[in-house]
């Protein structure tokens, strides 16, 4: 309880400071940044946490970087492979040490980055740094290990196909994009995953090009001492050799007409639909980008008029939600719905279009816009309760921008957005020629 009150009062103070002095930073915790000679960016955030530490290694490589034909899925593959260990600390030894110190370790892969994270107590910081620096510099696996793990990845792909959302997501990406690597999902194209066991030598090349310090961010959050932690980072990471080779990602050509497709799911499910528009790359200083995020919440969020109509009053949908992602390159701004009755698919679609048309013709109520802004700011601040939550919230913006200042930049831009800015982005980006509509129907 004491810890909870301490954090709550700290965050409340940050909110009060935010409201009383616009000149202050929005992000409430102190932090230090240093870049090693090999290009590794180190971000340390000190916060009260009763000795807890969260340790994130953010590799700025995701499925977006898989530009070579026939070789999708390798970013996700290395999420698995990194736990195979090194000659110094084989996988079984790595796991044993983490168990002994009470640490938990995991990882995830996205379209734009791969993230490895651990949570533990500060007295084990040097041991964790020894383990993590070793596996990022000295990952070692045999061809047999590679084939075993790539087989497991294909098993994961087949397991995913049990979900109708897997089917519609894969179809949406493949339909919406022509040239850009966002065309394939994070796990990759099935034919590439099936062929992966034959690509041992390519996997070594992938690791050598992308798992380099000048393509990574080390984020350490918690009850730490800045000087001691920086000295440990230098001790364990200075020998990591730079050598990142940027991928040759082809830009997506301008979409000139609406795209539509229907997915036949070989199982029972209520219809699922997604209306997606080509969006903007994440840029916290871009008013159009930030205004579009606000537009999504105003028009399709849980407090929107459309949500109240379709979900609460008419009960036409099992869910309605917006998904306006932050991505390194222009991606998709999406409105999702699961329709109870197949006969209502067209009706729900038309209601989505009518909502967009309304905002194209009318700026939103200024008070509603301000309420959304406050909700976004307070939700962000109140999520920063523990080192683990802070690190998890910061991982994506840091992967996209590499800059802690991007947090303050985003919320400064947020304050400047007017009702007319919302209307403007609705007119500019949410138009038929930028739209892809995918509807999934289950078997009868």
pLDDT of residue 8: 47
Residue 391 placed within a domain: yes
Judgement on whether residues 264 and 230 belong to the same structural domain of the protein: no
> Is 245 a domain residue?
no
pLDDT, position 24 = 75
Residue written as tokens 């997606």?
276
Residue 91 within any structural domain of the chain = yes
On whether both 233 and 276 belong to a single domain, the answer is no
> What is the rounded average pLDDT of the residues 332-342?
97
CATH of the domain at 396: 3.30.830.10
Mean pLDDT on 7-30: 59
pLDDT at 286 over 50: yes
**Domain end call among 207, 237, 267:** 237
Same domain, 273 and 225: no
Pairing of strands 216-222, 41-46: parallel
The average confidence (pLDDT) of the chain is 94
Residue of 442, 422, 126 lying closest to 295 (CA atoms) = 422
- 402 vs 42: CA distance, rounded Å: 10
Distance CA 266, CA 86 (A): 42
The answer to the question of residue 326 being in a domain is yes
Q: Give every CB contact of residue 41 below 8 A, 6+ residues apart in sequence.
A: 33, 34, 35, 216, 217, 218, 402
pLDDT of residue 428: 97
Please name which of 134, 80, 77, 130 lies closest in space to residue 106, comparing C-alpha atoms.
80
Q: What per-residue confidence (pLDDT) applies to 6? A: 46
Full residue range of the structural domain in which residue 373 is found: 259-442
Q: Do 203 and 312 fall within a single domain?
A: no
Euclidean distance between the first and the last CA atom of the chain, given in angstroms as a whole number: 53
Average pLDDT over residues 236-265: 97
d(CA 26, CA 15): 8
User: Do residues 233 and 263 share a domain?
Assistant: no
- pLDDT at 114 exceeding the cut of 90: yes
**What is the rounded distance in angstroms from the CA atom of residue 180 to the CA atom of residue 249?**
7
C-alpha span between 175 and 184 (Å, rounded): 10
Are residues 199 and 153 located together in one domain of the fold? yes
Q: What is the side-by-side strand order in the sheet with 435-442?
A: 259-265, 435-442, 272-278, 332-339, 317-324
Tell me: do 290 and 190 sit in the same domain: no
pLDDT band at 23 (very low <50, low <70, confident <90, very high): low
Residue 7 in domain: no
Whether 416 and 278 map to the same domain: the answer is yes
Domain tally, the chain: 2
Measuring CA to CA, which residue among 112, 432, 440, 424 is closest to residue 277?
A: 432
Q: CB under 8 Å to 313, separation ≥6 — which residues? A: none
Q: Contact at 8 Å (CB) between 51 and 223?
A: yes
Predicted confidence (pLDDT) at residue 86 exceeds the cutoff of 70: yes
Cβ(152)–Cβ(84) below 8 Å: no
Position 198 in a domain: yes
Instruction: Give the percent of the chain with pLDDT over 70.
Output: 95
Query: In which band, very low, low, confident or very high, does the pLDDT at 443 lie, cut at 50, 70 and 90?
Result: confident
pLDDT tens digits, residue range 44-53? 999 999 999 9
Asked whether residue 417 is domain-assigned, the answer is: yes
Pair 280, 286: CB distance under 8 Å: yes
303/416 same-domain check:
yes
- Give the torsion through C-alpha atoms of 385, 388, 390, 394, to 10 deg: -160
Structure tokens at 297: 């919440």
Q: Rounded to an integer, what distance in angstroms lies between the CA atom of residue 84 and that of residue 387?
A: 26
Residue 155 domain flag: yes
- Which of 22 and 84 is assigned the larger pLDDT? 84
pLDDT by residue (tens digit) across 356-401?
999 999 999 999 999 999 999 999 999 999 999 999 999 999 999 9
- Whether 287 and 354 share a structural domain: yes
Q: What is the mean pLDDT of residues 253-259?
A: 97
- Same domain assignment for residues 117 and 182: yes
User: By the 8 A CB rule, do 233 and 257 touch?
Assistant: no
d(CA 116, CA 213): 14
Structural domain ending residue among the three candidates 237, 271, 289: 237
The tokens of 255 are what?
């979409």
pLDDT given at position 444: 65
What DSSP designation does 251 have?
Answer: P
Q: Are residues 82 and 130 in the same domain?
A: yes
More confident residue, 151 or 19: 151
Taking the C-alpha atoms of residue 310 and residue 320, their distance in angstroms, rounded to an integer, is 8
Would you state the torsion angle of the CA atoms of residues 59, 60, 64, 68, taken in this order, to the nearest 10 degrees? -70
């Amino acid at each position: 309880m004491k810890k909870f009150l301490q954090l709550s009062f700290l965050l409340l103070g940050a909110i009060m400071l935010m409201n009383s002095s616009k000149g202050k930073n929005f992000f409430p915790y102190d932090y230090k940044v240093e870049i090693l000679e090999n290009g590794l960016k180190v971000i340390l955030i000190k916060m009260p946490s009763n000795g807890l530490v969260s340790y994130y290694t953010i590799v700025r490589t995701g499925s977006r970087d898989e530009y070579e034909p026939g070789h999708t899925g390798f970013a996700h593959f290395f999420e698995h492979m990194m736990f195979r260990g090194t000659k110094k600390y084989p996988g079984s030894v790595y796991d044993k040490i983490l168990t002994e110190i009470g640490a938990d370790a995991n990882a995830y892969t996205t379209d734009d980055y791969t993230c490895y994270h651990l949570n533990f107590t500060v007295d084990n910081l040097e041991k964790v740094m020894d383990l993590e620096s070793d596996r990022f510099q000295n990952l070692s696996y045999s061809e047999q290990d590679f084939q075993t793990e790539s087989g497991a990845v294909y098993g994961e792909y087949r397991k995913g196909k049990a979900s109708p959302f897997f089917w519609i997501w894969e179809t949406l990406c493949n339909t919406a994009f022509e040239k850009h690597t966002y065309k394939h999902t994070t796990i990759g194209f099935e034919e590439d995953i099936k062929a992966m066991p034959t690509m041992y030598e390519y996997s070594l090349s992938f690791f050598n090009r992308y798992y380099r310090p000048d393509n990574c961010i080390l984020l350490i959050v918690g009850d730490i001492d800045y000087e001691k932690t920086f000295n440990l980072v230098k001790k364990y990471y200075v020998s990591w050799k730079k050598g990142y080779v940027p991928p040759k990602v082809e830009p997506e050509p301008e979409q000139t007409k609406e795209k539509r497709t229907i997915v036949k799911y070989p199982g029972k499910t209520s219809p699922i639909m997604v209306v997606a528009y080509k969006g903007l790359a994440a840029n916290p200083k871009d008013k159009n980008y930030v205004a579009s995020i606000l537009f999504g919440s105003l028009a399709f969020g849980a407090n929107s008029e459309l949500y109240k109509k379709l979900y609460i009053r008419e009960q036409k949908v099992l869910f309605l939600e917006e998904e306006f992602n932050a991505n390194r390159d222009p991606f998709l701004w999406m409105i999702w719905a699961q329709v109870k009755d197949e006969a209502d698919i067209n009706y729900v679609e038309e209601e989505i279009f009518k909502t967009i048309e309304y905002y194209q013709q009318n700026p939103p109520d200024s008070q509603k816009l301000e309420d959304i802004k406050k909700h976004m700011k307070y939700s962000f601040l109140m999520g920063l309760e523990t080192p683990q939550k802070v690190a998890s919230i910061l991982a994506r913006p840091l992967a996209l921008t590499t800059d802690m200042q991007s947090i303050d930049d985003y919320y400064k831009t947020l304050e400047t957005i007017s009702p007319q800015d919302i209307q403007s982005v609705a007119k500019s980006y949410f138009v038929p020629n930028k739209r892809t509509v995918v509807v999934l129907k289950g078997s009868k």
